[in-house]
Amino acid sequence: MTETQRTPGSAEPTAPTASVLSAQYAPGEVEQRRYERWVADGLFKADTASDKPPFTIVLPPPNVTGSLHIGHALDHTVQDAIIRRKRMQGFEALWLPGMDHAGIATQNVVERQLATSGQSRHDLGREAFVEKVWQWKAESGGKILGQMTRLGDSVDWSRERFTMDEGLSRAVLTIFKRLFDDGLIYRAERIINWCPRCLTALSDIEVEHSDDDGELVSIRYGEGADAIVVATTRAETMLGDTAVAVHPDDERYKHLVGTEVELPLTGRRIPIVADAHVDPAFGTGAVKVTPAHDPNDFEIGQRHDLPSLTIMDEHGVITVHGPFLGLDRFEARPAVVAALRAEGRIVAEKRPYVHAVGHCQRCGTTVEPRLSLQWFVRTEPLARAAGDAVRDGRVRVEPPELTKRYFGWVDNMHDWCISRQLWWGHRIPVWYGPQGEVVCVGPDEQVPTGEGWTQDQDVLDTWFSSALWPFSTLGWPDETPDLAKFYPTSVLVTGYDILFFWVARMMMFGLYAMDGRQPFDVVMLHGMVRDQHGKKMSKSFGNVVDPLDWIDRFGADATRFTLARGANPGADVPVSEEWVQGARNFCNKLWNATRFGLSNGATVEGDLPTEDLSTVDRWILSRLQHVIAEVDEQFEAFELAKVCDTLYHFAWDDVCDWYLELSKGAMTPQRQRVLGHVLDQLLRLLHPITPFVTEELWTTLTGAPTLVRAAWPVADQALVDDAAEREVADLQRVVTEVRRFRADQGVKPAQRVVARLEGLDAAGLSAHEGLIRSLARLEAPGAEFAATAKLSVGVGVTVELDTRGTIDVAAERARLGKDKAAAEKEAAQCRAKLENPAFTDKAPDAVVEKIRQRLAAAETDLARINGQLDAL
């Protein structure tokens, strides 16, 4: 059976020629044409009725407001490589795309548009504003979907979903109703993250922390022996203090526990309580307790039945009657400190004081912890089930070392605040009646009507709907064919930074809604994209990469290869423009290798010959089997960086630098078939990473219509030939040593040197003398031959060279003598330092280590120079 016959839908192959391919690969002339053809031919569509085993990935939904950034490009490259390989392996592969409605971000975008015409959402009213957002989505949203096609994402566009579409909205209402009826959703006053600009609660992932300069002030509460000092960076919140807390075992304050102290500036008296949460070693060992404005203080307040005094409104403006009323929180802070200083209450001040401060991810405003009436999910039973699914092996986390972080989160999860004070999103399906009734309405239930009934004003956290993504996108709550075929999904690919916020929540809801069936079998967590120095990408650093710019300049394949070459589970991915240029050169190398093959009759027609093959052909076929096995193992471990490294070196080193060179002038019909097979298999192996260039080359080589659904290579142990590999390795060593000598002596690459080869018979290389001479540019010796240099190669071969006329031996010896003297001097100086205890005992370890490295380098140089002198 021929290679092309194993490709579904293949046409009768024609005899391709190199002229079919342009002289150089031009990505812009290939990518859009190929992608449009793939989609038009339905090559990415998954068939529910297929009897093939399913393999499913749901794309982490990008925000409807988003554009393709370098993190998306990495995430999509990894997923596309996985799904393309599975498709070639014969799985019914579904990669399901979609978008998230991005509640806060989208509402902010539309509100900014309204502001340009002097309007606010309140001028429109809720219904009209939501209609305006839908209009914006239709006209301007979802730009990233078009950008995904530039990268080559092989998603099933026929199944594209949106978290606010009708089916997913039904899923949201269904699970909310079930959770509510099961007592797992409740409404209560709790401390939440509040954005005074967006005027909504925020999830933890919507809060970005940074180290900001602040001021730490120590304030004396009370007088005399009963005084107690607390320290704070938020002096304005003292207006809401309802206690001072100390550790129960702190001897300094035991006599004060149970007493009261006057709160400065207010005239209120507050208790001093003992609580184990307090760290007696931090600061003074006493902390102010403001239950309405700090999550830890809220917990202390709950334990000690303290009142919670809210001192700010939703805009962060002070509401306490007195001199600070109406001040913004940042205006109130210095005003309160000044008033305390005037009363002699400031014991110490430290400025600047760097501390972690939370900021709204969407607008950058400093987040305010705030006591607020919100809706919560009771997470304890859901999180316990999510932990059990990993512990009992139903779900595997890659890399395994991140499992501990997962358990650290789900085993200590707080109840989840799911309500947001927005208009864009899934509105909470709860109605309040005139007599205090609270009714949760499911998707198929009648909404309460009559005078006095109102629906809750809040919408659900965006993460609530995206937590349903693995099954809502497949049709849940209905028992659809897609759900039966493709759930559980096979692998979730995402960054380790949202392990807690999204992965854990999908686990909780998937197990709950799907009767204990996990939402995915494997969680593959990749790292963050960084620059070549390992530095985080940031606009302020000026090192942000636009993947679309790279695609325009270097091509999608080069961009993908650059990202994949650093993508191992859990590891951050360094990238640089230099590397993407190298990846572009690699694509060109493949292009040129295939053109060479085509111009020399490489073919995939007919059976692959296995008998009477040359050593070189047996070697390359054997190497190919090892590479197929290695790549399979690396793909199964999601080690794409290793996949790229293996294929890069096989393609560049084994195929191009050696096999093609060894084949020049010796292109027999057998070799033409072997070369065609090697190129065919190599392009298949590379297709998941670099789909465009491989598609163009493979279809030209084989005459088949597409590589997308071609069979994935399978290693054939019958073609493994250890003897041929050893023989060619010895040949390569001889050629490499001669080439190295020539380079060291400054002999031009094209210049031929007369040489005698001794020991070829004993080394088993006599049959390859012609190849060795051709590759090393060596002429056979004549009657006037006189050896002026001699090389001994480790395989037992001796190469004697007549360098007269090519090397000025005397001048070369003089040059090497100077180099040797310099290296000996460097080595002697380093040894003297390392043998001097006064230096090694007193110098920093790093300095001593640097001297050791210099000595090692000098000794390496000496060995090389002496070898060159011996050869002369």
- Which DSSP string corresponds to 771-812? HHHHHHTEEPP-TT----EEEEETTTEEEEEE-TTT--HHHH
CA dihedral (834, 838, 840, 846) positive or negative:
negative
Q: How far apart are CA 722 and CA 728, in angstroms?
A: 10
Q: How far apart are CA 240 and CA 369, in angstroms?
A: 13
Q: Are 477 and 171 in contact (CB under 8 A)?
A: yes
Identity of the residue numbered 87: R
As a whole number of Å, the CA-based R_g of the chain is 35
**Pairing status of strand 430-432 against strand 454-455:** antiparallel
* Alpha carbon 476 to chain centroid, angstroms: 29
Q: How far apart are CA 731 and CA 794, in angstroms?
A: 11
Helices (H), 26-165: 31-40, 70-88, 103-115, 121-124, 126-140, 143-151
How is residue 465 annotated by DSSP?
H
Which residues contribute to the annotated binding site for ATP? Answer: 539
Q: Which helix (H) or strand (E) holds 220?
A: strand 207-221
List strand residue ranges (DSSP E) for 227-337, in order: 228-232, 243-246, 260-262, 269-274, 286-289
Tokens of 6: 């194993």
- Which residue has tokens 């060479």? 596
Tokens of 868: 């060159």
Grouping H, G, I as helix, E, B as strand and the rest as coil, residue 355 is: strand
Pick from 705, 695, 655: nearest CA to 675: 655
Q: Which helix (H) or strand (E) holds 419?
A: strand 419-420
Q: How many Cα atoms sit within 13 Å of 544 on the Cβ side?
A: 10
Q: Are 263 and 221 in contact (CB under 8 A)?
A: yes
Pick from 607, 553, 546: nearest CA to 575: 546
Q: How far apart are CA 872 and CA 862, in angstroms?
A: 15
Q: How far apart are CA 641 and CA 491, in angstroms?
A: 18
Tokens of 53: 């085993």
CA dihedral (585, 543, 204, 466) positive or negative:
negative
* Alpha carbon 96 to chain centroid, angstroms: 19
CA dihedral (469, 473, 477, 480) positive or negative:
negative
Q: Residue 546, Cβ neighbours under 10 Å: how many?
A: 13
Q: How far apart are CA 164 and CA 141, in angstroms?
A: 13
Q: Cβ neighbours of residue 583 under 8 Å, at least 6 residues apart?
A: 554, 557, 558, 559, 561, 562, 565
Tokens of 358: 């939370």
Tokens of 660: 């093609």
Vertex 562, ends 558 and 567: CA angle to 5°? 140
Pick from 568, 569, 564: nearest CA to 579: 564
Crossing angle of the two packed helices 143-151 and 70-88, in degrees rounded to 10: 60
Is it true that the peptide bond before 443 is cis, omega within 30 degrees of 0?
A: no
> How many DSSP H helices and E strands does the chain contain?
29, 29
Pick from 459, 457, 463, 462: nearest CA to 426: 459
